[in-house]
Amino acid sequence: MRVTDAAVIDAAIDAGVDLIDTADAYENEALVARAIASRAVKIVTKGGLVRPGGAWVPDGRASHLAAAARASLARLGAIDLYLLHAIDPRVPLATSVRAIDRLRDDGVVRGIGVSNVNLAQLDEALAIAPAIEAVEVELSPWRLDALRGGVVAACERRGLTLLAHRPLGGAAGVRRLSRVAPLAESLGLTPAELALAWLRAKSPAIVPLPGATRIETARSAARAQAIALDRDVVARLDELFEISTVRPERAAARGESKDVVLIMGIPAAGKSTLAASYVDRGYLRFNRDERGGSLAHTHRALDAALADGAARAILDNTYVNRAARAPVIELARRHGARVTCIHVATSLEDAQTNACARMLARYGRLLEPDEIKRIAKKDPGTFGPHAQFRWRREHEAPSLDEGFDAIEIVTPPRAISGGDRAAIFVTLDQAGLHAPSAIPDDVLLVGLAWLPDVSSETWDALADRTRALVGREVVLARCPHAAGPPVCWCRKPLPGLGLAIARAHAIDLSRSLVVGRGAADRGFAERLGIRYGETLSIDV
């Protein structure tokens, strides 16, 4: 149970609760320690998430985890289970997992686990630290990723405890439980008690962690621990919570004629182009961006179409992980359809280039970060670099054990620029233009700069001075956005400025060159698909 008031903790323990979940980021470990003094309760706490300025920021560094765990131990007196609170995208998962495993070896904590992971991340963590004994993830009637994505099944198979936080879905989820109120009343239960009992019935590995703020809710949560539901009630709740239990044999073995194709891939992978070829062959397309609403709305539309007799359907959303793909597989099986996954395995670098090219084609220029946020609300095809980085972090490769009849991997060819002029891209900073000499007259010179602390007036003056000194045609452009995780498409190594200039000046990128001396320049050239060199070497 998660609680924040000493009286609530005391009432919960009296009612039979024997596990308290907290974290250093909740800033209530000292309160918990005082409330459970001399009580027989298992303490679970977490580290690896900090709150600078109120934001939730992962910190998975080994040094931070070591210090955080010892600080938690000083506040709590003992730690039965210590969890990595969140994966830090800046730190290899192996580093963080080894750090908490070392805490167990050193006796700082008695047991270890991980939080907020998908199946692939759990498997990676277990390969590093087989002593992991628990996983904490969000799981509720309204958030079923852990069930659909295989995390619950993996915990059950490996003998791990699955701690389900937000098991009622927060305040909004509690309000939605009104749909089960009649059934709960007929059983002499509250809707929350019924939902908690349903979660426990889904797997013996699941331990719900309801957040109690009042003594009455703490006692109610404790009562839910002892409730056993019969199969008919669980099946009814499965229906109300829209989770399928259909698991027939694969369609291929039954010779069914219905065909559902799921296309997955990173944003801007090229899924829409591939889907269009299926539409030309008579497939109905189900795409969230076109239809609006959530993926759940898209899947309900697919369900209705298959029930109406549709024989062929294509879905082309990102489908980053097993949990996102599971509803499609369940629907296909329920309707006796064969289901194929096509994984568009476009690299992050090529997808970044595709995203910039699409933005330029759609809006004629690179959008500013605030424009991207505003336009993305109406145009899901417009997004910042973070969307692709997030997809890569969360990505789980498709597997036949999800229930697919077949998996195909395709890699679209890189688009070829349509210009007819060669160019050399060089670096411009406040010291001037770092350009090679002896550039042929018919080759365009392009100077690019990252100058976030320079005013527009200073930039204009620098550009005018540079053009006067160079004495030939030169195109100059800069990224003015601050350091940190990229919020724009124009800072190297992202390819936005290069593509925008190529589009405006009819540049043939295949005949062009990036001259630079660092990883950003090299990555910029890779994304544009052009040659890179530290010195001038051009054959045009």
Q: What is the DSSP-derived secondary structure letter of residue 52?
A: G
Provide, rounded to the nearest whole percent, the portion of the chain with pLDDT above 90.
Answer: 73
- Contact assessment for residue 125 and residue 132, using Cβ atoms and an 8 Å cutoff: yes
Crossing angle between the packed helical segments 348-363 and 519-528, to the nearest 10 degrees: 70
Residues 492-507: what's their mean pLDDT? 96
Rounded CA gap, 413 and 426, in Å? 27
Structure tokens at 308: 């109406």
Rounded CA gap, 210 and 21, in Å? 10
CATH of 423-533 given 3.40.50.1000, 3.40.605.10, 3.50.50.60, 3.40.50.300: 3.40.50.1000
Furthest CA-CA distance within the chain: 87
pLDDT at res. 538: 35
Provide, rounded to the nearest whole percent, the portion of the chain with pLDDT above 70.
Answer: 93
Q: With cut-offs at 50, 70 and 90, classify the pLDDT of residue 435.
A: low
For 243-261, how does the pLDDT look when each residue is reduced to its tens digit (9 = 90+)?
654 443 444 444 458 999 9
Q: With cut-offs at 50, 70 and 90, classify the pLDDT of residue 419.
A: confident
Amino acid at 17: V
Share the mean pLDDT of the chain: 90
Structure tokens at 415: 């688009």
Rounded CA gap, 142 and 145, in Å? 9
- Contact assessment for residue 97 and residue 35, using Cβ atoms and an 8 Å cutoff: no
Amino acid at 533: G
Rounded CA gap, 277 and 100, in Å? 49
Q: Which CATH number is associated with domain 259-410? A: 3.40.50.300
Structure tokens at 426: 């060089």
Choose among 107, 40, 47, 45: nearest CA to 76.
Answer: 45
Q: How far is CA 193 from the centre of its chain?
A: 31
Structural domain boundaries of the chain? 2-240, 259-410, 423-533
- Classify domain 2-240 at the CATH topology level: TIM Barrel (3.20.20)
Q: What is the DSSP-derived secondary structure letter of residue 507?
A: B
pLDDT at res. 245: 44
Residue 271 dihedral angles phi and psi, to the nearest 5°: -65, -40
pTM summary value = 0.82
| Residue of 213 and 385 predicted with greater confidence | 385
Containing 104, the helix (H) or strand (E) segment is: helix 93-105
Question: What Cα–Cα distance (Å) separates residue 100 from each residue in 67, 68, 106, 161?
Answer: 11, 11, 10, 17
**What is the number of helices (H) and of strands (E) in the chain?**
22, 22
For 297-338, how does the pLDDT look when each residue is reduced to its tens digit (9 = 90+)?
999 999 999 999 999 999 999 999 999 999 999 999 999 999
Same fold, 259-410 and 423-533: yes
pLDDT at res. 249: 44
Residues 450-455: what's their mean pLDDT? 90
